[in-house]
Structure 1
């Protein structure tokens, strides 16, 4: 079944809507809102909320987002600000943004997955399992977004740690798009691709998805000394106008990844 199109009666314009002619998209692996180990473990989810609001993006694609985690909630319940009530996606969404979340991985104490925060109306929310083996639970979050009268199919992805798994996940992504998204539709696929060797651009290109970049690819990992371009956005029907990676001590503290922000214009 293909993703549903929008009904004007169902989706009212959000209060944050504005008429810029470029779509500002961010992708960010938030490391479940926690950094450090043992006695040095610290809760960063409150700082992440401020950081995400400062990105001022139309669409924020997040990976490693907690819906709940009983052990972490107990560990941080007595800290100054405490573990937030409810899921991290809803907690992180700036005022006026819509939220979509789906679980990728279920663990002993909780679960985590991908999320989309959007200042534009969202359509139906879909999830597609692309796990390649039993040791890694991976999935795609798919949400159509109505931007400036254009239906944009947003896929939030978090690919595996093994190259052969990632190649197969590219194939499953392409099969999913062919089955669920109209061929003429605008598409963006954003996330953490774990592509250390820069080897996924070619197979993505062969399937009609082109990496959003201007000049040298933006390095986002590790956050303190970024050397690798693990976080990316691939598109169909857009051209990239600009890219930006926020840097500094605050960003380096909040996650092991830095966010990638791109400005896109429709072809």
Structure 2
């Protein structure tokens, strides 16, 4: 992490509900994810597919955490914020944000495009050096048309809810093959680290990443560096790899 006092790190990570594998080979990875998230040393961690509770998991795994996953994953000294996107037969899951900075307020906005996919925006206002940073955690739909409409609703939400001069971060699993949503994000003043020279930030699938589905966009913040942790340990914890971006908080 850069020593610049105005720099900070944002991470986004789809944790696949803390479980990997299929059938009898299913294994609980939530404890390993807790150690991994701490190692990221990010000031803001945006998480998707986070379980608040799941009765099936509680029955199957003896070491299932007693706490909701967002609280369990939060490193010491961090605040965990969670909002449910989907209620299922066995429980509920959604988006979460972990931060070492004070949380001013939070809200949730439903952006579900059809009844088969429940999606939402988690909006958290964080205080940094006396300034407010708005962080929005997203997990967009699997269908291209849904993603287009959800980005339009994201823009409406930002225009309606966030002052135009406040810094904004939008991070999460965009399900965006080919980064086609980048044009729409750029059109609303949101930029990611795509202009920085560096290795490709491929995040999916974790075992042999061929594309980037996870993105961190920002307005009124300057990206300094972007990276993706790799290796066999990261490959086994989720089907996605985490994405990290260091930003510079400009002086007022």
The TM-score normalised by the length of structure 1 is 0.90
Shift of 1:149: 2.1
Does the Cα contact within 8 Å between 1:34 and 1:42 map onto a contact in 2?
Answer: yes
Picking from 94, 104, 120, the partner of 2:85 is 104
Does 2:190 align with 1:246? no
1:260 and 2:243 are equivalent in the alignment: yes
CA distance in 2, matches of 1:248, 1:73: 29
Residue 167 (structure 1) aligns with: 148
Shift of 1:263: 0.3
What stretches of structure 1 of length at least 5 have no aligned partner?
Answer: 1-17
| Corresponding residue for residue 27 of structure 2 | 42
Deviations 1:83-125 (A, max 9, x none): 0002000000000001100000110000100000000000111
Q: CA deviation at 1:19?
A: 8.0
Which range moves more in the overlay, 204-213 or 47-56? 204-213
1:204 is matched with: 185
Q: Distance in 1 between matches of 2:24 and 2:59?
A: 14
Query: Counterparts in 2 of 1:86-105, with a 5 A limit?
Result: 86-105=67-86
Q: Distance in 2 between matches of 1:136 and 1:96?
A: 34
Report the Cα distance in structure 2 between the residues aligned to 1:237 and 1:248, rounded to whole angstroms.
33
Q: What does 1:47-58 correspond to in 2, within 5 Å?
A: 47-58=32-43
Structure 2 residue aligned with 1:27: 12
The CA deviation at 1:266 is: 2.6
The equivalent of 1:128 in structure 2 is 109
Q: Which residue of 2 aligns with 1:221?
A: 204
Deviations 1:13-46, CA, capped at 9 Å, x for gaps:
xxxxx98321100000000000001110000000
2:139 corresponding residue in structure 1: 158
The corresponding residue for 1:189 is 170
Provide TM-score, normalisation by structure 2.
0.95
Q: Distance in 2 between matches of 1:193 and 1:98?
A: 24
Matched, 1:65 2:50: yes
Deviations, residues 152-197 of structure 1 (Å, cap 9, x unaligned)? 0000000000111101111000000111110111000000000013
- Contact kept in structure 1, 2:105 and 2:126, CA below 8 Å: no
Match of 2:60 in 1: 75
**Structure 2 gaps, min length 5:** none
C-alpha distance in structure 2 between counterparts of 1:129 and 1:19, whole Å: 37
For the 8 Å contact 1:67–1:88, the answer to whether it is kept is yes
Q: Distance in 1 between matches of 2:39 and 2:248?
A: 21
The separation in 2 between residues aligned to 1:160 and 1:47, in whole angstroms, is 27
Contact 1:212–1:235 at 8 Å: present in 2 too?
no
Counterpart of 1:232?
A: 215
Where 1:168 maps in the other structure, the secondary structure is helix
Does the Cα contact within 8 Å between 1:35 and 1:42 map onto a contact in 2?
yes
Q: In structure 1, the residue corresponding to 2:150 is in which secondary structure?
A: helix
> 1:184-234: per-residue Cα shift (whole Å, max 9, x none)?
110000000000132101011111111233236510000011111101001
